[in-house]
Amino acid sequence: MNSFTAKTHTYTIGGVQVPSVSQVIAPLSDYSNVNPELLVRASEFGSNVHVMIKLWLDETLDEDALDPNLVPLLEAFRDWYFNGQFADVLKTKKVICEIPIYHQPLMYAGTPDIVIDGVAIIDIKTRKVDKTRDSLQLVAYKELHLQHGGIKANYKLIVLRL
């Protein structure tokens, strides 16, 4: 059985802990010169953005309770959703958001931000885009999605920087 423990961000396949996509690509980034407190705050902010978007897509977001610092990012995401390059597709296609998936043959796992089945894999960032790292992350998410039964197609791999 496959499982994900959010508190520790741990994935297991058949009871065996496996690396996440983020762990696999972590050596490609060096944050050793960044203030550790700043890294923690940035990580928490990014996590909050992801939760906000998932709740919005699930139509369960309480916008009145939203941290004012998140409001501009929600507005930017809504603009992308309703007016961006996939706006017409999003009216008819199911959006898969923040669902842990597993690649049993290669023994890794991850949680893609947004998948439009047969169309695009979208990763949301609140930091500057890193072409190498982000491209590898998106390819790994695409392979996870295909392994999980996704439609075989020529997916667009998109980094959405908010």
Question: Which pLDDT tens digit goes with each residue over 73-98?
Answer: 999 999 999 999 999 999 888 899 99
Residue 84 and residue 79: Cα distance in Å, rounded? 7
* β partners of residue 125: 161
Residue 123 and residue 141: Cα distance in Å, rounded? 9
Q: What is the pLDDT of residue 74?
A: 98
pTM of the model: 0.92
Which element (helix H / strand E) includes 4? strand 2-5
Q: What percent of the chain has pLDDT over 90?
A: 91
**Residue 18 near residue 108, CB atoms below 8 Å:** yes
Tokens 């004012």 belong to residue: 68
Q: What is the pLDDT of residue 160?
A: 97
Give 145's pLDDT tier (boundaries 50, 70, 90).
Answer: very high
Residue 122 and residue 160: Cα distance in Å, rounded? 7
